[in-house]
Every structure is written in C-alpha cells, then in structure tokens.
C-alpha cells in the first residue's frame, strides 16, 4: 500500500499585505510548520504552480519535487468561489454535481490523475504529498471514492487541512481526514 496526503495550502496574507513578499501570512507559516512537524516523511512532494502551495510545502519542511498546473474547481454556472462553505453536506453536493457536470468531472479527473502519478512515484509503504487548493481538492476526493459515505466526510478543507488516501497500486481505496481547526 502507498499513501497520498493531499493538503490545502496554508493561510495567506489579506488586505494591503497581499501580493507583497510571501503569499503566506506569518500565521500561515506557523500553521504549516505545526502541520509539517506531525506529518511525513514524504518520498515525493507535488505542489500547484501557485506560490502559496509551494510556500506551504516549504513551511511544512518539505521541498517540492515538482509543480504542476492544477485546474480550479470553481466553474462559472457550476460552482461559485467558496460555494462549498455554504453547503450543509459539501461532499454529497459535489457527488451530485460530478454526476451532472462534465466540466467538473474533467477537473476532478485531472487532479486524480496527478494524485495517482504522485502515489506511483513512491515505493510501497511510502507516502507522497500534494499541496493544492480548496474547491479543487474536495470534488477530486469524491471522484476518487465515488461509493464512499460522502455525508460523513464533514466540512470542506480549511487552510492546511488534508486527507490521507490509501493507494493499492491501481486506485484509491480509503480516506482519513486531518483537520487543524483553523477555520475558513
């Protein structure tokens, strides 16, 4: 069995500080360090090309082996920005949307393909890390495990929250959520 840990990036700067210097706020760096201290090791680390994901991996204590374009799960007419925070059962809602929207299925499938490659990049018994974005991770998790009890999965991923997926060599077979209580 191989393991894939998928994490949402950490807290970012807001207001006038946004866009200056690092993307992560000081609180975001502290949060990522705390999460990194209790996770890993990882044999392979992938982040999106957006700086806040690379900075999150580095603050966690893990150098990125690669960066890749990761499409947004926010799609006009399908899922608006941060819609998942307004839904009472977000993962169940994503399951319904994935059944309805070919565009959202394509986004989720792209993420799952990247995650599968990351899991295959490590030997049996090892783990890989992917740092990505809220609104994209959640539908991809549902796409990985379409028969799961999505209603039991709880809230969307807050900054630095994540999920650990078991990979049996052909697909993802189990999930465990890791939440930090940082809120949205």
CATH code, domain with 74: 3.40.50.1240
Establish if 184 belongs to a structural domain: no
Distance CA 67, CA 56 (A): 13
Cβ within 8 Å of residue 157, ≥6 positions away: 7, 8, 134, 137, 138, 163, 179
- The CA-based angle 67-71-72, given to 5 degrees, is 125
For 62-79, the pLDDT digits (tens) are: 999 999 999 999 999 999
Share of the chain above pLDDT 70, in %: 98
For 115-157, the pLDDT digits (tens) are: 999 999 999 999 999 999 999 999 999 999 999 999 999 999 9
Q: What is the mean pLDDT of residues 94-110?
A: 98
Q: What is the mean pLDDT of residues 98-111?
A: 98
Establish if 183 belongs to a structural domain: no
Long-range contacts of 86-94 (CB under 8 A, 24+ apart): 89/150, 89/151, 90/138, 90/153, 90/155, 90/156, 91/138, 91/141, 91/142, 91/150, 91/151, 91/153, 91/154, 92/150, 92/151, 94/138, 94/139, 94/142, 94/150
Q: Tokens 């925070």, residue? A: 85
Distance CA 47, CA 163 (A): 15
- Domain range for residue 116? 2-178
Report CA-CA distances (Å) from 183 to 31, 38, 46, 85, 92: 12, 19, 24, 10, 20
Establish if 24 belongs to a structural domain: yes
Report how far apart the first and last C-alpha atoms of the chain are (Å, whole number).
Answer: 32
- The CA-based angle 104-107-110, given to 5 degrees, is 150
Q: How many domains does the chain have?
A: 1
């Amino acid at each position: 069995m191989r393991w894939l840990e998928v994490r949402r990036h950490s807290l970012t700067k807001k207001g006038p500080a946004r866009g200056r210097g690092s993307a992560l706020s000081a609180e975001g760096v502290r949060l990522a360090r705390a999460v990194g201290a209790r996770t890993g090791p990882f044999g392979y680390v992938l982040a999106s090309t957006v700086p806040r994901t690379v900075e999150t991996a580095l603050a966690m204590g893990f150098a990125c082996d690669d960066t890749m374009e990761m499409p947004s799960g926010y799609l006009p007419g399908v899922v608006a920005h941060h819609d998942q925070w307004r839904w009472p059962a977000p993962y169940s809602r994503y399951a319904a949307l994935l059944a309805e929207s070919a565009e959202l299925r394509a986004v989720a499938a792209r993420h799952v393909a990247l995650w599968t490659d990351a899991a295959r990049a490590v030997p049996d018994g090892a783990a890989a890390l992917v740092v990505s974005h809220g609104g994209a991770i959640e539908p991809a998790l549902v796409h990985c495990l379409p028969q799961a009890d999505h209603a039991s999965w709880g809230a969307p991923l807050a900054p630095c929250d994540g999920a650990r997926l078991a990979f049996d060599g052909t697909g993802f077979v189990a999930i465990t959520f890791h939440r930090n209580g940082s809120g949205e």
